[in-house]
Amino acid sequence: MAETAIPQRTPPPTTLWRRISPSLVPIFAVLTALLITIPFMILTGGSGDINRGLTIAGTAYSALIEGSLGLAINQQVSEGELDQFLVLARSSDLQQGDLRRLARSINDLAAVGAANARRYGEVLANFPEITEEDFSDLAESLPDIATIGMERLDAMRPLIEALAELERSEVSDLAAQFTTLDSLPADLRAQVVALVPASDQYSDADLLAYMKLVDQYGIVRLERLIERLDVLREVGMTPVTTDGTLTPEAQELIAIAAIDGGVETAREAAETTARLEAAGISNTETLVHQIEIVRELYSQGLLTNGDVTTAIDTELDDALRNNLIVSRPGNRLLIDRTNTLTGMLISDNNTPDNPADDYTETVYLRLGSSALLFFPANLENMLVRSIPFIIAGLAVALGFKAGLFNIGAEGQLYAGGILAVWVGFSPIFAGLPLIIHLPLVLIVGIMGGALWGALPGALKAYTGAHEVITTIMLNYVAILLVDWLIKSTTPIILLDPAASTPRTPFLLESARLPDFKAVPVWGFILAGIVVLLLGLYNRRERLRQDIRYAIRPVVYGVLTAVGGIFLAWVGARGALHLGLVIMIGAVWFTDWFLNRTTLGFELRTVGSNSDAARYAGMSVKRNIILAMALSGALAGLAGTIEIAGVQFNMQPLFFSGLGFDAIAVALLARTNPRNMIPAGLLWGSLLAGAGLMQVRADISIDLVKIIQALIIMFIAADAIIRYIWRVPQPTEKMAATFSKGWGS
């Protein structure tokens, strides 16, 4: 009897991976881009040193997280964190006033090098009283001494001393006669001997050579060279070897003179080296950091005794025990005198006009010897920067869904923005209340973008003109048109004559998007209740069958209220505006339109297969124009929100690059509106954290551009990511939807 083969089941982890991994491709693309840039840091910042390069990478990416999300983990200051400084302070008489000079000396030592500093100290010990000017002159004399030669200078000494007694002009005229001579005439020799009897001891060849040197260098310079040679001999130094080259000691003199700060810097570096070696300290970078911490403790009044050793022994322990002191990058300290497990540091931003205008600067949570820090302002900045990318990304994604490659988001941003800014500042609309003026600004901006998007749509529909070409050309038209409207002076059209740079006037207050802190708490609670009621209404039929269907509306309502209150707290500085709410609404509307409406279905069908759509009775031309108009409308909305919520005016090249970044955001989101928020937040995070990365890790800000380029490349060529991360191929290729935009 044949055995029945039992089908083998795929192990559950493999099944789970096959199910979820295709949707994680964008995340894998980001991780891969971040990992690939680490070798760049090793080769550039680390100069090939792997450990140093990895440290730079860790610093850069932690700075990226802090600059975008506002999160950081830093060490709390303890006696263990000041170990090297404590050793140094207790091994020498150190006063508070010495700390700054000591830190500067250690920094100079790092530039000079400990080995060089030791040699410089040995050399300078021979010149205890020499001035900076004399030392520089001494160092400058060495090459000339080597060129002429010590023996020749000694032989010339009687001639130089005698000539130095004569008038300078007389010596110069005499020496000039020797310039072109190959031999010494008797009458000229007699003339020299008559003026300088000491020259009679020299042969004709020597006297000719010596006088040529007088003509070349001048008698004053030769006299100084003799003096400097005597100084070197007095301290037992021979500056020139027998073969006419400078000795190592002489080369050290020249190197010292070339140091920034010269003798003083070299002397301090030598003294500091000896001081540190006596204390057994080798890590100067860490020591400088610890010195700056102690200086900051003094400036905050936590240490008061002028004698540093006494202050450490009597005051440091109490200061560390009774305060939270966190060491921040850049030798800064974060101090909370309440010394609690968790807490907030509030800015002292009160003004007579705004007596309650304080906001939370930092929130902390103790984690053993470290502290988790949150800086709301950084998160606020990232959210503000992400809003236009998300909406503009929606614009590009909507075009992709219709099989159209809309590269014209840049021009549509300008078209919407310029109309919106005119409605925002024009005296025609002055006096309108915010509830009317602001929606009018938004509507006009949307209409401007829609019209600019509909143009290439109509050209595509009725003439077959490729949308990639027409949108690119219309970008230039829009950008240059806005440039002319703003810069025109005869006549003045949109220029603000009072501005120092070309820009439009500022928007009226009634045309500006309010910030989150202007919304009262009850407003967010009311918004949460509205979301709850709408959710319950939409699920009313299911609720009759099972009350558990109310859970999701309740969760959404609570998240709306709590999220709004949190955002108001994060945006307490007033930068985070209600454009964030409009952005969320735009994402919801785009997703609803594409997936829940007949027009959206037709638009997607035309994008997937225009022939099938035409056969089914759908108007391909209408859908092409509609898709491009809606795409332009979203781009115009993005530009309007940036103007009404952030800048409040418009300048030439104001949106430079934003429309093209939107293409990257749309690809990162896989053209799915629901994924647009995380994709846009990622893009905003990279830009928001780039500056801090550059400062903290001392790397080029262009590294962020490299990361962005790699992300786009990996999204476009996702086969690379699938191979690296072993992601199975999806049943449908997302590329099939938008590749039609290249024409087929």
**Strand, helix or coil at 311?**
helix
Q: Please, which residues have CB within 8 angstroms of residue 731's CB and are 6 or more apart in sequence?
A: none
CA distances from 373 to 342, 358, 418 (A): 10, 19, 41
What's the pLDDT band for 584 if we cut at 50, 70, 90? very high
Q: Which residue has the higher pLDDT, 598 or 728?
A: 598
Q: How confident is the model at residue 12 (pLDDT cuts 50, 70, 90)?
A: low
Lowest mean pLDDT among 96-110, 199-213, 380-394: 96-110
Compute how many other C-beta atoms are within 10 angstroms of the C-beta atom of residue 667: 24
CA atoms in the 13 A half-sphere facing the CB of 695: 11
| Contacts with 701 (C-beta within 8 Å, 6 or more apart), sequence order | 690, 691, 693, 694
Give the pLDDT confidence score for residue 393 in this predicted structure.
95
- Whether 353 shows a pLDDT value over 70: the answer reads no
Predicted local confidence at residue 555, as pLDDT: 93
Q: List Cα–Cα distances, 107 to 9, 273, 400, 433, in angstroms.
A: 66, 11, 56, 60
C-alpha–C-alpha distance, residues 213 and 198, integer Å: 17
Q: Mean pLDDT in the chain? A: 86
Mean pLDDT, to the nearest integer, of 19-28? 82
Above 90 in pLDDT, residue 358?
no
Phi, psi at 28, each rounded to 5°: -65, -35
Average pLDDT rounded to a whole number, residues 154-166: 86
pLDDT score, position 355: 45
Distances (CA, A) of 378 to 22, 123, 362: 32, 52, 10
Predicted pLDDT at 138: 82
Per-residue model confidence (pLDDT) at position 339: 76
More confident residue, 695 or 735: 695
Indicate the pLDDT class of residue 231, thresholds 50, 70 and 90.
confident
- Distance CA(155)–CA(162), nearest Å, equals 13
Burial of 466 per CB tally in 10 Å (0-12, 13-18, 19+): middle
* Per-residue model confidence (pLDDT) at position 740: 47
| 3-state class (DSSP) for residue 281 | coil
Query: How far is the C-alpha of 297 from the C-alpha of 316, rounded, in Å?
Result: 9
Number of H helices, E strands in the chain: 33, 6
110-114, 245-249, 574-578, 685-689: segment of lowest average pLDDT? 110-114
What is the arithmetic mean of pLDDT over 413-427? 95
Residues 6+ apart with CB under 8 A from 656: none
pLDDT at 646 over 90: yes
What does the pLDDT look like over 508-550, one tens digit per residue? 999 999 999 889 999 999 999 999 999 898 888 888 888 888 8
Q: How many CB atoms lie within 10 A of CB 722?
A: 17
Taking the alpha carbons of 413, 414, 419, 423 in that order, is the dihedral positive or negative? Answer: positive
pLDDT tens by residue, 467-494? 999 999 999 999 999 999 999 988 899 9
Neighbours of 57 (CB within 10 A): 22
> Cα torsion at 454, 456, 460, 466 (round to 10°)?
-150
Torsion sign across C-alpha atoms 636, 637, 641, 644: positive
103 contacts 288 by C-beta, under 8 angstroms: yes
Q: What is the predicted pLDDT for the residue at 561? A: 94
pLDDT the model gives residue 9: 54
Query: How many whole angstroms separate alpha carbon 320 and alpha carbon 89?
Result: 18
Residue, of 160 and 390, whose pLDDT is higher? 390
CA-CA distances (angstroms) from residue 541 to 547, 549, 551, 555, 595? 10, 10, 15, 19, 22
240-286 residue pLDDT tens: 887 778 888 888 888 888 887 777 878 888 888 888 887 788 777 78
Give the count of beta carbons closer than 10 Å to the beta carbon of residue 26: 22
As a whole number, mean pLDDT of residues 633-659 equals 92
Q: How far apart are CA 563 and CA 559, in angstroms?
A: 5
pLDDT at site 433 = 94
User: Measured between alpha carbons, how far apart are the two ends of the chain, in Å?
Assistant: 59
What the chain holds in terms of domains, given with CATH numbers, is 79-87+282-377 (no CATH), 96-278 (no CATH), 387-514+577-742 (1.10.3470), 515-576 (no CATH)
Quote the pLDDT of residue 11: 55
pLDDT at 730: 63
Q: What is the pLDDT of residues 296-348, one digit of tens each?
A: 889 888 889 988 888 888 898 888 888 888 988 877 888 888 878 888 888 76
* Predicted local distance difference test score (pLDDT) of residue 240: 83
| Token code pair at residue 419 | 């109309």
- HSE, side-chain direction, 13 A CA sphere, residue 252: 20
The three-state DSSP-derived secondary structure of 704-734 is: HHHHHHHHHHHHHCHHHHHHHHCCCCCCCCC
Q: Can you give the pLDDT at residue 738?
A: 43
